[in-house]
């Protein structure tokens, strides 16, 4: 069975991690979000928000990690779920109006995911934490930028309906297995 790389994306606080955790409980191959790890490592070096202070350095670290995840996903067979994909990096940079080198665009064009599921902003579940600094309004704008960026790279986007974690995960699995 061939590998199918399935991205779960959306603005901050939309439930991606909860769905990835549910998929892991159900024994699906998943690759977790790496931006929190990059943020925590920067904090250990005394940088509170690396993305805000140096968006390109932060994004370079994400690009390196997401490329590794892309290839790691290829070592599996069947469905492999990723918490965000490479186009997310460009969406965030565009959101803060930060220019970026051409190799970011090339990475989006050469690392192609099979399917993309999008979680919309949902005020009822949105919370801030130590790594999530965005307001709900900013999260909604990031969501719009994600839609624009993934569409620019010709992805067909699957909107995940609101519901509890089990319902949302069931929806993703049902659609992903049918595609």
DSSP state letters, 106-165: HHHHHS--SEEEEEPP-TTT----SS----HHHHHHHHHHHHHHHHHTTPPEEEEPSS-H
Within 1-133, strands assigned E span: 3-10, 29-31, 78-83, 115-119
User: Above 90 in pLDDT, residue 40?
Assistant: no
Residue 5, strand partner residues: 80
The CATH fold of domain 3-178: Rossmann fold (3.40.50)
Which tens digit of pLDDT belongs to each residue from 9-19?
A: 999 889 999 99
pTM greater than 0.85: yes
Task: Give yes or no for a contact between 114 and 179, defined as CB atoms under 8 angstroms apart.
Answer: yes
Mean pLDDT of 32-48: 81
Mean pLDDT of 21-42: 90
Local confidence band at 103 (pLDDT 50, 70, 90 cut-offs)? very high
Local confidence band at 125 (pLDDT 50, 70, 90 cut-offs)? confident
Which tens digit of pLDDT belongs to each residue from 60-97?
A: 999 999 999 999 999 988 999 999 999 999 999 999 99
Helix/strand/coil for 7: strand
Task: Give yes or no for a contact between 5 and 80, defined as CB atoms under 8 angstroms apart.
Answer: yes
- Among 50, 51, 55, 18, smallest CA distance to 33 is for 18
Sketch the domain layout of the chain as residue ranges: 3-178
Choice between 127 and 122, residue whose per-residue pLDDT is larger:
122
User: Above 70 in pLDDT, residue 129?
Assistant: no
Which tens digit of pLDDT belongs to each residue from 130-139?
A: 556 678 898 8
- Mean pLDDT, the chain, integer: 91
pLDDT value for 130: 58
């Amino acid at each position: 069975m061939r590998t199918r790389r399935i991205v779960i994306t959306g603005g901050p606080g939309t439930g991606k991690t909860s769905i990835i955790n549910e998929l892991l409980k159900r024994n699906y191959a998943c690759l977790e979000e790496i931006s929190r790890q990059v943020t925590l490592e920067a904090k250990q070096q005394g940088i509170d928000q690396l993305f805000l202070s140096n968006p390109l350095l932060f994004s370079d670290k994400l690009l390196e990690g997401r490329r590794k995840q892309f290839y790691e996903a290829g070592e599996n067979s069947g469905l492999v779920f990723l918490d965000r994909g490479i186009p997310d990096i460009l969406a965030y940079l565009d959101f803060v109006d930060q220019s970026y080198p051409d190799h970011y665009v090339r990475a989006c064009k050469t690392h192609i995911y099979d399917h993309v599921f999008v979680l919309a902003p949902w005020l009822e579940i949105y919370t801030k934490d130590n790594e999530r600094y965005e307001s709900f309004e900013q999260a909604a704008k990031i969501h719009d930028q994600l839609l624009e960026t993934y569409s620019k790279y010709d992805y067909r986007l699957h909107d995940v309906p609101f519901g509890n974690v089990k319902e949302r995960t069931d929806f993703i699995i049902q659609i992903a297995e049918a595609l």
